Amino acid sequence: MWVYQLLLKVLTPWILRKLKRFGKEYDNYFINQAFGEVEKDIHADLWIHCASVGEVLAVRPLVNQWQALYPNKHLLITTVTPTGAAQVSSLFNENVQHHYLPVDWVKSVEGFLSKLTCPKLLIVETELWPNLLTGCKKHNIQVHIINARLSERSFRKYAKFSSLSKKLMQLPVQFCAHDDEDAKRFRQLGANSVCVTGNIKFDLAVPDNVKGSDWKRNVGPLLPIWVGASTHDGEEKLLLEAHSRVKKTFEAALLLLVPRHPERFDAVYELAQSQFDRVAKRSEVSQKDWSQYDVVVGDSMGELLYYYQCADIAFVGGSLIERGGHNPIEPALLSKPILVGEHTFNFKEMTQGLLQDEAAWKCSTVVEIENSVKQLFENEQSRLYMGGKALLFAKKNQGAVERVLKKVGEVEK
């Protein structure tokens, strides 16, 4: 582990700059918590760690089911980012405590754990912090990695440091993996106990207020709308170019462009303005006026499901670049035809299933995106067919939350 401790020390100036930036930009960020400071002792029956917004949203069905089983028990959720903390605050009731996960310095981790009384930690996906895992073992906190996934690319990186990886993989009590391929990779790296429970993101329940959303009615039910969701740098330019081509056929078409990270909202807005005359921000223009614009930049947090619900076609971002793609099940549960780029290794099995079931199309170039959007705009039956297939695929893969709760000992088997 000495290599990791040395690397952590080298990265300390960068970490401190990031913490300082969070403190300046977000009112809900408490930098003292990142250093492991705890104002008063924390008592929880279960602790769940979610790195940021995506993991908080993913764990929502599990939290809801656990709270239904144990309404009088207390849950602690930690996040790394302030945007993740904001999601915790907006989604869950008063039985959920929030605290920022301390930076993985030994002193900070020990300061936090010494003030915490909790028997079990569930880490969502694969956020493996060596000092945190070691500290939990010292304080007799069982660690389970749930919704665990490990792409082939990440596996190769871990494999380069096999001795360190083996020690790291043996610290958690068990890994509850997405699928057989993920489970196999964890075992090859040295994990002792690995099971396959499926992906809890399938178990997302679309809230009634989203299902009954009036966004589409406000914009205009006949207006052709597509969304570029959770986009990254390098993707917006391609989507905007495709949109300019689409508008030659569908003059009224509207693109909802929703960047993944809030710090990029302004930059994406300026990029859109450089290519279109009529560009608006969601925060500044009423939905009833959206039909007057070519592009609306989604500069809001926690509303992605609303954007999907409003759109006729959903492009899932992170897939036009080597980011690995984001969760395609959210638009699937809203019966939307799905478009993805070439790079979907973060959700490989899920995306392949959608493609095989004719619920999604892969389009990696501007021309392919343009042609796919135009084809779907032209044919309502194709949109309905793909959307129905997407919903069926999502529904048939549900049930992971119950399997996870059983495996980690929170319900009887």
Residue 72 in tokens: 């009088």
CA dist 54 and 325 (Å) reads 12
Question: Which amino acid, 360?
Answer: A
> Rounded to whole angstroms, what are the CA distances from 135 to 109, 129, 171?
7, 10, 10
Q: Is the dihedral of CA 320, 325, 331, 336 positive or negative?
A: positive
Burial class (CB in 10 A: 0-12, 13-18, 19+), 85: buried
CA quadruple 255, 256, 261, 263: dihedral sign: positive
Catalytic site residue from 25, 37, 39, 55: 55
Catalytic residue status for 322: no
How far is residue 18's CA from residue 401's CA, in Å, rounded to a whole number? 34
Q: How far apart are CA 52 and CA 194, in angstroms?
A: 24
**Residue 194 pairs with which residues in a beta bridge?**
175
How far is residue 189's CA from residue 297's CA, in Å, rounded to a whole number? Answer: 42
Q: What are phi and psi of 199, to 5 degrees?
A: -105, 120
Closest to 243 measured CA to CA, from 401, 151, 142, 372: 372
Residues serving a catalytic function are 55
